[in-house]
Structures are given as structure tokens and as C-alpha cells.
């Protein structure tokens, strides 16, 4: 085979390679983001740890309130902290909706 007979084959391989490279973004878009997967796993892990801690915190705050040994600012702070921790995804969705993201 001489040099000129290999040109159509090389062009065919080149065009096939370009088509495959052009199709890669669609394949990548079909998969979920690794950052999003890691962030979701981290969020569920934090909530799994935070649930028993929040329950114990509410029990301790109740016992301290019954004994009249606490400042109500601590109670309000704990309630707001628990609400923000467990409502974080809804808060983020709300803020993203406000800015159209």
C-alpha cells in the first residue's frame, strides 16, 4: 500500500475520533456530579449523627428549664440551631429560588 491509499482510512479514523470526542460531553452530562454525590452523602451522614445529639440536647434543655437553671437565650439558640441544621436543604432551595439559580 502506498501513501495515497491510506489517506481515506486515516480520514475515517480521524472523523470517528472527532465524533467520539464530540459525544463525550453528553455522556458526562448523563452522569451525576461527583461533588454533588459527595455533598449529599456528607449531608446525610451529618444528619445521621446530629439526630441523637439534638434529641439529647432537647432533653438536657428541658431538664435545665424544669430546674430553672438556664438562660432562655440558650434555649432559643438551640431551637434555631436545630431548625437550621435539619432544614438546611429547604433553606438552600429557598435561597436558590430567590436568585433564580
pLDDT, tens digit, for every residue of 66-101?
998 888 888 899 999 999 999 988 988 899 899 987
**Alpha-carbon distances of 65 from 9, 21, 69, 75, rounded to whole Å:** 83, 65, 6, 9
Secondary structure tally for the chain: helices H, strands E: 4, 0
**∠ CA(18), CA(20), CA(26), 5° rounding?**
120
What percent of the chain has pLDDT above 70? Answer: 70
Q: Per the confidence metrics, is the pTM higher than 0.85?
A: no
pLDDT at 23 (0 to 100): 63
pLDDT value for 51: 93
Amino acid at each position: 500500500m502506498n501513501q495515497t491509499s491510506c489517506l481515506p482510512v486515516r480520514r475515517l479514523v480521524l472523523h470517528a475520533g472527532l465524533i467520539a470526542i464530540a459525544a463525550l460531553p453528553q455522556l458526562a452530562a448523563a452522569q451525576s456530579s461527583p461533588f454533588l454525590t459527595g455533598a449529599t452523602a456528607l449531608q446525610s451522614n451529618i444528619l445521621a449523627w446530629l439526630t441523637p445529639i439534638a434529641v439529647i440536647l432537647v432533653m438536657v434543655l428541658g431538664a435545665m428549664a424544669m430546674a430553672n437553671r438556664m438562660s432562655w437565650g440558650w434555649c432559643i439558640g438551640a431551637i434555631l440551631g436545630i431548625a437550621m441544621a435539619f432544614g438546611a436543604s429547604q433553606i438552600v432551595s429557598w435561597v436558590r429560588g430567590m436568585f433564580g439559580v
